[in-house]
Amino acid sequence: MKEKNEVIILLAEDDDGHVELITSTLHDVGILNEVMRFRDGEEALEFFYGNGKKPGIKEGASYLLLLDIRMPKVDGVQVLERLKGDPRYKKMPVIMLTTTDEPREIERCHALGCNSYVTKPIAFADFVDKLHRLGLFIMVIEVPKL
Amino acid sequence: MDRPGAGSYRMPLAMWLLFGAIFLSFLVGGAFFYYSQERRIREDESQKLLSIAELKAEEIARWRSERIGDATVALSGPFFSAAVKQWLATPDPTLAAQITERLESYRRGYRYASAFIVDAEGHIRLSAGMAEEHISLETDAFLRISLRQGRPFLSELYRCSVHNAVHLDVIAPLFSDTTEGRRAVAALILRVDPNEFLYPLIQSWPEQSISAETLLVRRDGDEVVFLNELRLKKGTALNLRIPISRFDIPAVRAVRGEEGIIEGLDYRGVPVLSALKQIPASSWYMVAKIDSAEAFSAWRFRAGVIIGGLCLVVYIIFSLMGFFWHIQRGKQYKELLELEKKEREGEEYFRATFEQSGVGVSQVAFGGRFMKVNPRFCEIVGYSSEELLQKSFPEITHPDDRAADKIYIQKILEGGKAVSSREKRYIRKDGSIVWSNVTVTVVRDASGAPSYFLPVVEDISSRKDLELAREELMTSLQHKNEEMESILYAASHDLRSPLVNIQGFSDRIRRYLAELDRILNAQISASEMCETAAPIIRNNIPKALGYVTAGTDKMDALVSGLLKLSRLGRATHTPEPIDMNELMRETLDALKFQTQEARAVVTVGDLPSCWGDRREIGQAFSNLVDNAIKYRDPKRPLTITVSGTVMGDRVTYTVADTGIGIKKGHQDQIWGLFSRLDPGGPVPGEGLGLALVKRIVQRNRGKAWLESEQGKGTVFYIVLPQDRTIRKGGRT
C-alpha cells in the first residue's frame, strides 16, 4: 500500500448512519486509511482555514475529501467552491458523495471542479458496490502532498 | 371660409370711389352749368338793355331832326317867310292875323307848346299860345346862338326862369337881304313841352318792369345833368347833378364817352345794369338801366332751381350711399349675429362636453391651482368642485408621483409638444388611492406664453387593479415554482437520506442475524456461544435498529412536513380584513404554556389591521413566536416584542426577540425547506417553520426578512397589505 496508505480521508457528512455505513464499507474493501469526519460544511472549512481557531490541516500530509452536499450551515457545494477556488487546495481530490442524482446538481459540481461524483443508492448492495469502486479509485488516484 | 374682419364691414373702396366720382362730376357739371347759365342770362339782359337804348337813341335823334325839319318847312314856304318880313317892315293887322293864324296851325299841327316870332332884340312880335312880350334870358341865349349860326337850331332842354318850366326850343332865323348884306331880322321859335312827347318817349319801356328806366343826361362843366324826370325820383329834371368824378355811376361814364354795357350804382346808390348810348348830333347821352336785382331775378330763380337740383342730386347720392352702407351694415350685423350664434353654440357644446364628459377635465392655473373642474373629475378624486377650487394639483397628487409630475410639466412646457400623457395616482378625499391616466395640454395665449393647463384625467383604477392582479398572479406562480423546486430538492436529498440508513442498517441486521444463525449452528459450547452472540444481540443489532427507527422517524417527519406544505398550497385562501390585535392575542393564548415555561416576557403594541387569510397569518406569527421561544438564549431572559406600523398601503409588523441570534452567513439558509442549522442540537424540529412563514407571507402578497446579530437576538419583519376596507374607504 506504500505511500498511498498515508492519505487521510476527510469525510464531510452530517448523517451519523451514513458515516457508519461509509466507513465500515470502505474498511470492508480494504481502505484502512485514517478517516476524519466533519458534521457539516462549516466544520470542514474550519479544518482547512481555522476561522479563528487553529486549522486542523497538517503541512506535508495528503488529503482526499469525501463531500456530502446537503449539510446544515454550509452545504457541500459551497465548500467545493471555496476549496477549488483556492490554489492551495485546488489539486486536492474531492469526491462528491451524496444522495441526489439530479443532473443539474451533478453538472454544477463538475463545473466547480469535483474529481468524482458518487450517488448513494438506496439499495444496499448497490451502495456497497459503489463504495468498492470508490475504494479502488482511492487506491489508484494520485494524491499530492500539501 | 373667411372669417369676417372689421375691414370687410365697410363699404367697398370701389363703391366709395364710384360715389365720389359721381358726386364730383355733379359738382363740376353743376358749377359749369350754373356759370354758363349766369353768363347767358347776363348776356341776354345786356343785349335787351342795349337794344332798348339804341332804339330810344334813334327815336330821340329822329325826333330832334323832325323838330328842325318842322321849322325849316315852316320858313321855306313861299308865304310865311315873305309875310313875316313884310309885316316887320310894315305892321299890318290883317297880315299879322294871317301870320298868327299860321303860327297857331303850326302849334297845333306839330303839337308845340307855343309858336312865336321874335325880332333880333328878343321881343316877341307875333305868337300863338304866348302872352308875354319878351323872351326869357335863357331863351335869348339860345336865340343869339341860332342867329349867329344862321340856320335852324335846337336848344338844350332848359328851365325857363319866366315860366319856371322845362323848355326845348326850335329856333329858325329869318333873313332879309339888304344893302349891307344878308341880315337876320327875326326868328321863328317853336317851343316844345318835353312832357308832351319827349319825356314819355324817354320813360316808356317795352316790357313790364318795376325798376327799368331810360334817362337822358348831358355834361355841364364838371357835372352830369339829368335831363328828364326820373321814374324813381321826382323833380329831378335839370335839377339832379352828379360830379363827373363818380366813375361808379353809369351816367358819369356815359358822358365821358363810354358806350355799351356797364354795371354800377345808379343815382339811388343801387346796383344796376345799364346800357350807354350817345344820341347822334346832340350833347345828350342815353342811359338805359335796370336794377341788377330785377335783371337777374329770373336768373336767381333759375340759379335756385339749379342749386336746388344739385342739392337734390347730392342728397340722392348720399341717400344711395347711405342705403348701400345700411345694406352693408345689415349684412355685417347679420354676419356678426351668425358668428355670435356660432360662438354661443360652440360654447354650449364645449360646456356640455365639459360637464357631461366621461373623463375628468379641469382647468389648472399656471401655479397648479384649479380654476374649473367637471363633475367627472370631482367623482374621480372624491372632492366637491368647491373643495377642489380651493386646492392645487400637487395637493391631491400621491406624494410618490409629485416629483415625476414636476418633471412631466417641465417637459411639456419646454418641449412645446402640446399633448402627452402619463399614469399617476391621486389621493382621494377619503385617503384612498386612485390610479389615473393624465393628459395635459398647455393652453397658450396669442404671444405663445402658457396661460393655463388643461389636464384630461381618466380613471384607470380597474385597469391598474387588473395589472396588479396579473402581477400578483405572476408572483404567486413564481412562488409556486420555487416551492416545487424546493420540494424536488428536498425529495432528492432529504427523503433519500433516511432510506439509505434504513436499507443499510436493515442489511446489517440481516447480516447479524445470519451470523447469529451461524453461531447457533456452530459446534461450540453454550458459554462460548453466549460470549460470541452477546455483543451482537446486545450492541450491534440494537444500534442498527436504532438507525432504522431514526430513519423511519425522520421519514415520517419529512412526509408530514411535506403534507403540511401541500395542505397550505391546497387550502382555500380567503383574504379578509384581519384585526391583528385580536389574532395576536389568540396566537399567544395557544402558546401560553411554552411562553410560561420559557419565562418569556411578551410585549404586543397596538397592531394595525391587515388584509389576508386569517388562519395562515395566524400560523406564520405562531411559528415566529414559537421559534423565538425555541431558540432562546438560556443565559439571558427572553423578551419578545411584537409591533406594527402603517407605511403607505402596507403594514410592517416586527417580531423581535432576545434569543441566540443567527450568524450573518446563515441568515439566508434558514428560510429553506427542511433546512436546519443545528440538526443534532437541543432543539427538535424538521426545518419547516420559517419555510412555512415565507410561503404564507408570499401567498398573502407580503414580504419577510430578518435582521439578526448572533448573541443578541433577531428581528423578523413581515410586511402585509393594509386592510382594504380602510384603504378604499368603502368605495366600490
Q: What is the pLDDT of residue A3?
A: 46
Q: Which residue has the higher pLDDT, B438 or B14?
A: B438
Contacts of A18 in chain B (CB under 8 A): 497, 500-501
How many angstroms separate the Cα of B57 from the Cα of each of B62, B152, B279? Answer: 8, 21, 5
pLDDT value at residue B717: 95
Res. B314: pLDDT tops 70: yes
A99 touches chain B (CB under 8 A): yes
Buried b (16+ CB within 10 A) or exposed e, B183-219: ebbbbbbbbbbbeeebbebbbebeeeeebbbbbbbbb
CA A144 → CA A2, A9, A64, B285, distances in Å?
A: 14, 13, 9, 178
Q: Answer yes or no: is pLDDT of B419 > 60.
A: no
B722 grid coordinates: 393594509
User: Does residue B147 fall inside a structural domain?
Assistant: no
Task: With residue B172 as reference, give the H or E element that holds it.
Answer: strand B165-178
Q: DSSP assignment, residue A4? A: G
Q: How far apart are CA B458 and CA B122, in angstroms?
A: 146
pLDDT band at B652; cut points 50, 70, 90: very high
Domain residue spans in chain A? Answer: 2-140
Q: Are residues B582 and B609 in the same domain?
A: yes
Residues B23-39 have a mean pLDDT of 84
Q: Give the DSSP per-residue string, B697-718.
A: HHHTT-EEEEEEETTTEEEEEE
Among B199, B210, B215, B201, CA closest to B266? B215
Domain end position, chosen among B550, B570, B590: B570
Residue B226 domain flag: no
CA distances from A44 to A40, A78, A115 (A): 7, 11, 18
- B537-559 pLDDT, tens digit each: 999 999 999 999 999 988 888 88
Most B CBs within 10 Å, among A27, A51, A75, A99, to test the B interface: A99
Q: How far is the C-alpha of B511 from the C-alpha of B509, rounded, in Å?
A: 5
d(CA B294, CA B232): 14
Going by pLDDT thresholds of 50, 70 and 90, the confidence category of residue B4 is: very low
Count CB-CB contacts under 10 A for residue B342.
Answer: 10
Neighboring chain A residues of B675 at a CB cutoff of 8 Å: 72
B487 touches chain A (CB under 8 A): no
| Chain B residues in contact with A21 (beta carbon < 8 A) | 500-501, 504-505
Please tell me whether residues B547 and B633 are part of one structural domain: no
pLDDT band, very low/low/confident/very high, at B148 (cuts 50, 70, 90)? confident
- Could you list the residue range(s) of the whole structural domain that residue B605 is in? 575-727
pLDDT at B301: 84
Q: Which spans in B357-453 are helix H?
A: 375-381, 385-389, 399-415
Q: How far is CA B362 from CA B98, B130, B370, B381, B440, in A?
A: 144, 133, 7, 12, 10
Q: Which helix (H) or strand (E) holds B435?
A: strand B433-444
Q: Give the pLDDT confidence of B87-115 residue by residue, as tens digits.
A: 888 888 888 888 888 888 888 888 888 88
Annotate B75-99 with DSSP letters as a single string.
HHSTTHHHHHHHHHHS--HHHHHHH
- On whether any CB of chain B is under 8 Å from the CB of A123, the answer is yes
Size of interface A-B (CB pairs under 8 A): 68
- Residue B417's pLDDT is 56
A51: contact with B, CB 8 A cutoff: no
Give the model confidence (pLDDT) of B600-650 as tens digits: 999 999 999 999 999 999 999 999 999 999 889 888 899 999 999 998 789
Residue among B638, B655, B630 at smallest CA distance from B580? B655
pLDDT tens-digit map of B272-304: 889 998 888 888 998 888 888 888 887 788 888
Q: Of B215-219, B419-423, B620-624, which range is least confident? A: B419-423
Give the mean model confidence (pLDDT) for residues A20-49.
87
Report if residue B556 sits inside a domain. yes
d(C-alpha B534, C-alpha B544), whole Å? 15
B278 in any annotated domain: no
| pLDDT value, residue B585 | 93
What is the per-residue pLDDT for A99?
86
Grid cell, residue B655, equals 417580531
Indicate which of B502, B503, B663 best probes the interface with A, i.e. most A CBs within 10 Å of its own CB.
B503
Quote the CA–CA distance of B215 and B46 in Å, as a whole number: 16
Same domain, B590 and B718: yes
% of chain B with per-residue pLDDT over 90: 14
pLDDT digits (tens, 9 = 90+) for A74-103: 889 999 999 999 998 888 889 888 888 888
The confidence band for B732, taking pLDDT boundaries of 50, 70 and 90, is: very low
Mean pLDDT, range B363-390, rounded to an integer: 88
What is the pLDDT averaged over residues B250-278?
87
Domain CATH number, residue B395: 3.30.450.20
Residues B518, B600 within the same domain: no
Which residues have CB under 8 Å from B557's CB, separation 6+?
B686
Task: Look at B505 and A122 and tell me if their CB atoms are within 8 Å.
Answer: no
Average the pLDDT over B118-140 and give the result. 82
The CA distance from B396 to B698, in Å, is 32
Q: Is residue B39 part of a domain?
A: no
Please tell me the predicted confidence (pLDDT) of residue B11: 60
Residues B609 and B723 both lie in one domain:
yes
Which residues, at least 6 apart from B136, have a Cβ–Cβ distance to it below 8 Å? B160, B161, B162, B163
Q: How far apart are CA B353 and CA B345, in angstroms?
A: 12
Query: Does B678 map to a domain?
Result: yes
Residues near B732 by Cβ (< 8 Å), separated by ≥ 6? none
Instruction: Name the one residue in this structure whose C-alpha cell is 326850343.
Output: B169
B251 and B41 Cβ atoms separated by less than 8 Å: no
The pLDDT of residue B10: 56
Rg (CA), chain B: 78
Closest Cα of chain B to A49: distance in Å? 16
Considering only alpha carbons, which residue of chain B is nearest residue A103?
B492
To the nearest whole percent, how much of chain B has pLDDT over 70? Answer: 97
What angle do the packed helices B526-535 and B496-521 form, to 10 degrees? 170
B620 backbone dihedrals φ, ψ, rounded to 5°: -60, -50
Among B484, B486, B489, B492, most A C-beta atoms within 10 A, so best to mutate, is: B492
B537 vs chain A: nearest CA distance in angstroms? Answer: 18
Q: What is the mean pLDDT of residues B563-579?
A: 85
Taking the CB of residue B40, how many other CB atoms lie within 10 A of it? 12
Strands A116-119 and A94-98: parallel
Q: Is the pLDDT of residue A2 over 60?
A: no
What are the tens digits of pLDDT across the range B156-214?
A: 888 888 888 888 889 988 887 777 777 788 888 888 888 888 888 888 888 888 888 88
Both B583 and B717 in one domain: the answer is: yes
Mean pLDDT of B217-237: 84
How far is the C-alpha of B673 from the C-alpha of B691, rounded, in Å? 5
Q: How many angstroms separate the first and last alpha carbons of chain A?
A: 20
Look at A64-68, B75-79, B336-340, B512-516 and tell me which has the smallest mean pLDDT.
Answer: B75-79
| Confidence grade of residue B731 (pLDDT, cut at 50, 70, 90) | very low
CB of A96 within 8 Å of any CB in chain B?
A: no
Task: Note whether B630 and B654 are same-domain residues.
Answer: yes
Q: Are strands B223-226 and B370-373 parallel, antiparallel or unpaired?
A: unpaired
Which residues from B are below 8 Å from A17, CB to CB? 500-501, 504-505, 547, 550-551
On the question of pLDDT at B695 being above 50, the answer is yes
pLDDT at B706 over 90: yes
Return the CATH number at B696.
Answer: 3.30.565.10
Q: What is the pLDDT of residue A104?
A: 85
Q: Inform me whether the C-beta atom of residue A14 falls under 8 Å from chain B C-beta atoms.
A: yes
The reported pLDDT for the residue numbered B7 is: 45
pLDDT at B726: 65
**Residue B438 is assigned to a structural domain of this protein:** yes
- Could you report the predicted ipTM of this complex, rounded to two decimals? 0.87
CB-CB: which of B493, B665, B669 is closest to A99?
B493
Clarify whether residues B565 and B581 are in a common domain: no
Question: Of B727 and B328, which is predicted with more confidence?
Answer: B328
Same domain flag for B651 and B720: yes
| Dihedral sign for Cα atoms in the order B388, B392, B398, B399 | negative
Question: What integer is the mean pLDDT of B371-397?
Answer: 88
Least confident of B149-158, B242-251, B486-495, B716-725: B486-495
Do the chains contact at A100 and B496, CB–CB below 8 Å?
yes
Q: What are phi and psi of B577, to 5 degrees?
A: -70, 135
Q: Are residues B562 and B584 in the same domain?
A: no
Region B419-448: mean pLDDT is 83
B702 and B626 both lie in a single domain: yes
Ramachandran bin of B574, using left for φ above 0, alpha for ψ from -120 to 50, beta for the remaining angles: beta
In a 3-state reduction of DSSP, which class is residue B11?
coil
Domain shared by B696 and B616, yes or no: yes
Measure CB to CB from residue B497 to each of A15, A72, A123 and give the nearest one: A15
> Quick one: pLDDT at residue B5?
45
What residue in B sits closest to A126 (Cα-Cα)?
B504
CB contact under 8 A, B497 and A72: no
Q: What is the pLDDT, as a whole number, of residue B606?
A: 92
Question: Is some CB atom of chain A closer than 8 A to the CB atom of B510?
Answer: no
For chain B, the domain total comes to 3
Q: Is A47 on the interface with B (CB under 8 A)?
A: no
Determine contact: B494 vs chain A, CB below 8 A: yes
Residues in B closer than 8 angstroms to A125, CB to CB, are 507
Judged against a pLDDT cut of 80, whether residue B39 lies above it is answered with yes
pLDDT at position B729 over 70 = no
Contacts of A16 in chain B (CB under 8 A): 547
Residue of B nearest to A74 (CA): B666
- Quote the radius of gyration of chain A (alpha carbons, Å): 14
Q: Is A98 near chain B, with CB under 8 Å?
A: yes
DSSP codes of every residue in B471-508: HHHHHHHHHHHHHHHHHHHHIIIIIHHHHHHHHHHHHH
For A101-120, write each residue's pLDDT tens digit.
888 888 999 999 888 888 88
Residues of chain A found within 8 Å of residue B492, distances taken between Cβ atoms: 99-102, 105
Q: Which residue of A has its CA nearest to B679?
A: A72
Residues of chain A with C-beta less than 8 angstroms from the C-beta of B501: 15, 17-18, 21
Q: Superfamily assignment of A2-140 in CATH?
A: Response regulator (3.40.50.2300)
Decide which of B543, B570, B597 is a domain's last residue.
B570
| 8 Å CB contact between B300 and B45 | no
